[in-house]
Amino acid sequence: MIKGFLLMASVLLLSGCAVKDVQPWEKETLAKDTMKNGAGNALMTKFENHIYFSKEGSKGGGGVAGGGCGCN
Amino acid sequence: MRSILLTLLLSPLLFSYQQGDTLSQNIQDKLNIKEEKIYIIDFFASWCASCEKEIPYISKVHQQVDSSQVEIIGVDVDKKIENAEAFQKELKERGALTFRVVNDPENSIIKAFKPIGMPALFYIKDKKVIDAVFGAVDNIDEVIIADLKRLQK
């Protein structure tokens, strides 16, 4: 009983160490151009995307989807 | 033990409106939902490009539907009220926003609905959530009209 209680208490306390999820309505800062690859500079964006997509082996997903809405 | 873990896992869902849930009196008051008609709640923000794209289409629906049967309410979730007002003013000036908007700078309304993405549309009938559409959808006006036909049956 005590062991179970301690386990539950530690599980609940550990959740305090977790990173809080960013909710869809909290993505204002993430939607800014400065938060994207290249920070809004067209040339740097192209350059950084080239490296990122080469390393990932796929294209897309470099920014917050759907214009910063996280909707797609 | 198993039920406690399940509750913990599902807790984010337990505190948001699901299909069939009745809106609390507080939310009804904030949105000024009084009649027994269909309400469409559109959550948007100035920084959400997809929301901005959808608003003119939703305004088009607003002009087409019978206001005694269906009402569209926008909820602007911008935390800075000046951003919200500037955004809405700009939309109104170009005739892209024709429905009424409730500002939600404290995000108290959207936190009650907890949509999984934005833009988010919730259909309310008899003060109950009956359906929802999340994310950017092409030709959202046609989607809403089709949904209304289905929901009004």
CATH assignment of the domain containing B125: 3.40.30.10
Per the domain annotation, does B124 fall within a domain?
Answer: yes
Per the domain annotation, does B23 fall within a domain?
Answer: yes
Q: Inform me whether the C-beta atom of residue A36 falls under 8 Å from chain B C-beta atoms.
A: no
Q: Which tokens in the block code for residue B4? A: 């406690």
Query: Is the ipTM here above 0.85?
Result: no
In A, minimum Cα distance to B76 occurs at A25
Please give the backbone phi and psi of residue B132, each rounded to the nearest 5 degrees, phi first.
-155, 150
From chain B, which residues contact A within 8 Å (Cβ)?
Answer: 1, 4, 8, 43, 45, 47-53, 77-79, 107, 110, 114-120, 134-136
In A, minimum Cα distance to B118 occurs at A69
| Tens digit of pLDDT at every position of chain B (153 positions) | 555 555 545 544 555 788 888 999 999 999 999 888 999 999 999 999 889 999 999 999 999 999 999 999 999 999 999 999 999 999 999 999 999 999 999 999 999 999 988 899 999 999 999 999 998 888 999 999 999 999 987
Per the domain annotation, does B12 fall within a domain?
Answer: no
Range of the domain at B78: 17-151
Residue B68 C-alpha, separation from nearest chain A C-alpha, in angstroms? 30
The CA distances from residue B139 to B56, B88, B145, in Å, are 11, 21, 10
Peptide bond into B12 cis (omega under 30): no
Per the domain annotation, does B1 fall within a domain?
Answer: no
Nearest to B136 among A28, A31, A72 (CB): A72
* Cα B30 from Cα B90, distance rounded (Å): 24
Per the domain annotation, does B112 fall within a domain?
Answer: yes
* Interval A18-27: pLDDT, tens: 777 889 899 8
In A, minimum Cα distance to B133 occurs at A71
Q: Of A66 and A61, which is predicted with more confidence?
A: A61
Q: Inform me whether the C-beta atom of residue A6 falls under 8 Å from chain B C-beta atoms.
A: no
Q: What is the pTM of this model?
A: 0.79
| pLDDT at residue A54, rounded to an integer | 87
* Interval A20-49: pLDDT, tens: 788 989 988 888 888 877 887 888 888 888
Host H or E run for residue A32? none
